[in-house]
Structure 1
Amino acid sequence: MVIAVIGQGSIGRRHVGNLQDLGADVEGIAWRDFDRGSFETRSDIKGIVIATATEVRLELVRMAAGMAVPVYIEKPLHWTRAGVADIYDTLGDLAQRSMLGFMARYHPVVQALAAQDLSDVYGFTFEIGHDVRQWRQDWSFPKSYAARAEGGGVLLDLCHEVDMAKALFPDLTVDHVTSVGHADFVGVDFASRIALSGGRVAGTVAMDYLSPVSLRRAEVNGTRAARSLDLLAATLTVDSGTAETTPYPYDRNDMFRAITRDWLALIEDAEAPLQPLAPRLSDMRASSDLIAEAWGKRQFAGTAQMSF
């Protein structure tokens, strides 16, 4: 039985390699070569990784549902709440054996923070930024999915931190979103700051395509302790009068392998034990709705000065 990976960009190729390393029989299929008519008649497919651009995923979800095959869907699920609802309605019970690609939930610093008692927390900030022109060798933003008004932009592209905030503080809702656009890419946000609140907690999530240095950090403040996270350095500092910094050595690909391992277990058994915070699709509706709501509430306030 085969795991099919549809979409052979950098993420799709990473999935193929990790699945092979985990012992799965894998077939990578480029979206431009995909033939739905012949694929959906196959009886040897046990799971489908959907690693395509966001706007074509619903079509593949419908196909997978018709085949009764679990899916691993790259994040975000959809950029509108109607699209999110459509995907959940389409998959039905298959969502219990499917996964949404929020692999940052497996970051050891995030898991260490989530294991703490956070009942004292009243405020937080999450921030992620990187110059989009420096992402990968041979990367071209203007030619990518990220440059599209629907399904693109930084809020959707770097939405891991929105999901982290929702996982840690489930009562959060969107207050408002302020975004910076670009004159050459109408409707695409290059920087967004999301104000969130709920359950006696308030905070912000900021993301951008503009920072000249890569950064990924957070502050989580409570009455008992101030907690500082650096996800690139993989450290967690807890200061309750005396600051203690704990390093969590890791390799970025460890997160991909961990989420893939959990998904392979779910394919076989919907009741399989998973790691803490595992983004089983059936548990991810609230997070997906929050991201879609934030995308819909963007208010543009200026344009980025960045040339391509």
Structure 2
Amino acid sequence: MVIAVIGAGSIGKRHAGNLEALGEAVEPIGWRGFDQAAFEARKDVEAVVIATSTPIRLELIDICARRDWPFYAEKPLAWRVAQVEAIHDAGAPVAERSMVGFMMRYHPAVRDLAARDLSQVYGFQFEIGHDVRQWRENWSFAGSYAADPEGGGVLMDLSHEVDLALALFPGLELGAVDCVGHRDFAGVDFATRLHLSSAAGVVGSVAMDYVSPVSLRRAGLRGRDEVVDLDFLAPEIRIACEENVKVVPYAFDRNDMFMDMMRDFLALVRGQDTSNNPLIPRFDRMRESSLLVARAWENRVFSGVVDMDMS
């Protein structure tokens, strides 16, 4: 039996390599020329990793559900509410054995936050930003999925932080979604800020951008008892309480998150015990997260453009 990895881009290659490192039989499958009928008829597939572009989700998840194949679908699932509902309805038969690829839930600092008492937190902010032109060698924004006005933009691309906010503070409701666009890419957000709040008494924001000349990824929690600041790139967490300040550094490789997540996916596939991570993004628990991302995308309000040379 094999784990089929559909999608030949960088994330598909990462997942295939990690599965092989875990001793699994893997079959990478490119989307171009993909024969859905032939794939659905196969008898040697144990599970499927869906690492295609965002628009290619529903048809593959539908196949997996009809064949009783657990799946791991890369984030984000969709950019419109109706799409999210259709995908989750289609995947319901295998939902408890499947996952969505929000791997930041496996960051050790996030896991430490999840273990803390966050009931005393009244405010939060998550922020991620970097110059989109510097992503990778030979990268062309204009020719990428990110430049598509239907489903592209920074909100969809860097949606991990939206998911983290909801994972740590369940019940968040969406307020305003303020965006800055670009004169050459109509309908594509280059900088976006979400305003969020919950009936539990916490308010906060999630900001993301394609513009920052210095890469940054950080979070802050403000509570009655302590102040917590997290730098994901250092990475370290700083906890201040009255006169005491504690700084905790983390030594780990980014791929560790992908590996830990894939181990949990394989455990779900085979009915085995998963890790003790309380934030495991099991598919049946992820509808609200994907809905929050989609609602935010549908409710974007553009208030200007950034002057940024994308040639």
Q: What TM-score comes out, normalization by structure 1 length?
A: 0.97
Q: Paired residues, what number?
A: 308
The match for 1:29 is: 29
1:193 aligns with 2:193: yes
Contact 1:262 1:274 in 2 (8 A): no
Contact 1:99 1:281 in 2 (8 A): yes
Q: Which residue of 2 aligns with 1:255?
A: 257
Structure 2 Cα separation of the partners of residues 164 and 195 of structure 1: 14
1:281 to 280, 283, 288: 283
Gaps of 5+ in 2: none
The alignment partner of 2:8 has SS state of coil
The corresponding residue for 2:75 is 75
* CA distances 1:24-45 after superposition (whole Å, capped 9, x unpaired): 1111111113221211110111
What is the RMSD of the two structures over their aligned residues, measured on CA atoms?
1.2
Give the conservation status (yes or no) of the 8 Å contact 2:68–2:93. no
CA 1:226–1:272 in 2, change beyond 3 Å: closer, same or farther?
A: closer
Match of 1:165 in 2: 165
How far does residue 270 in structure 1 lie from its aligned partner after superposition?
7.2
SS of the residue 1:32 aligns to:
coil
Say whether the 8 Å CA contact 1:235–1:248 is kept in structure 2. yes
> Hey, what's the Cα distance between the residues in 2 that align with 1:304 and 1:61?
37
> How far, CA to CA, are the matches of 2:10 and 2:120 in structure 1?
40
Give the AA of the match of 1:238: I
Rounded to whole Å, the distance in 1 between the matches of 2:65 and 2:110 is 32
2-side partners of 1:176 and 1:43: how far apart? 48
Amino acid aligned to 1:76: P
Shift of 1:255: 0.4
CA contact (8 A) 1:262 1:275 kept: no
In structure 1, what is the equivalent of residue 44 of structure 2? 44
Contact 2:3-2:46 at 8 Å conserved across structures: yes
2:220 is the counterpart of 1:219: yes
Could you list the per-position Cα deviations for residues 140-174 of structure 1 after superposition, in whole angstroms to 9, with x for gaps in the alignment?
11111111112211101101011000011002110
Distance 1:151 1:169 in 2: 26
Supply the distance in 1 between the matched residues of 2:152 and 2:266 (Cα, whole angstroms).
29
Q: Which residue of 2 aligns with 1:152?
A: 152
Structure 1 Cα separation of the partners of residues 40 and 168 of structure 2: 38
The 1-side partners of 2:7 and 2:43 are apart by 20
Map 1:227-266 onto structure 2 (within 5 A). Answer: 227-241=228-242, 242-266=244-268
Q: Which amino acid aligns with 1:73?
A: A
1:109 has 2:109 as partner: yes
Moved over 3 A (4+): 270-274
Q: How far apart, CA to CA, are the structure 2 residues paired with 1:271 and 1:162?
A: 28
CA distance in 1, matches of 2:250, 2:193: 28
1:124 & 1:275 partners in 2: Cα distance? 22
**Equivalent position SS for 1:143:** coil
Q: Is the 8 A contact 2:162 2:293 kept in 1?
A: yes
CA distance in 2, matches of 1:47, 1:97: 10
Q: Which amino acid aligns with 1:307?
A: D
